[in-house]
Amino acid sequence: MQNFVLHNQTKIIFGADRLQEIGSEAKVLGARALLVYGRQSIRQNGILTAVTASLQSCSVAIIHHGGVQSNPLLSHVRQGIAKAKEEQVDMVIAVGGGSVIDSAKAIAAGALVDHDVWKFFNGKKSIKQCLPLACVLTLAAAGSEMNGGMVITHDDRKVKFGTGNRLLNPVVSILDPTLTYTVPPDYTAYGAADAIAHILEFYFTTADASTPVQDRFMEGLVINIMESCDKVLHDPCHYQGRADLMWCATLALNGWTAAGLGLVGFPMHMIEHTLSAHHDIAHGAGLSVVMPAWLAHQAERAPHKFAQFGRRVFQVEQKECRAAARAGIARLQEWLRGAGCPTSLAELGIAPETIPFLAEQSLPLAKLWRLKEYDQEKIETILRSCL
CB 27 within 8 A of CB 59: yes
Does the global pTM surpass 0.85? yes
Per the DSSP assignment, residues forming a β-bridge with 134 are 93, 172
Structurally, at CATH architecture level, domain 184-384 sits in: Up-down Bundle (1.20)
Name the pairing type of β-strands 159-164 and 149-154: antiparallel
Residue 264's pLDDT is 96
**Residues paired with 175 in a beta bridge:** 14, 137
Domain ranges of the chain: 11-179, 184-384
- Amino acid letter at 321? C
Sheet holding 91-96, edge to edge: 11-14, 172-175, 133-137, 91-96, 32-37, 61-65
What stretches in the chain show pLDDT beneath 70? none
Distance between CA atoms of residues 350 and 352, nearest Å: 7
The top-level CATH class assigned to 11-179 is: alpha beta
Give the pLDDT confidence score for residue 40 in this predicted structure.
Answer: 83
DSSP 319: S
pLDDT of residue 43: 86
Look at residue 44 in the predicted model and tell me its pLDDT: 87
Return d(Cα 320, Cα 324) in angstroms, integer.
Answer: 6
Structural Rg of the chain based on CA atoms: 20
With beta carbons less than 8 A apart as the criterion, state whether 279 and 342 touch.
Answer: no
Contact indicator for 386, 293 with CB cutoff of 8 Å: yes
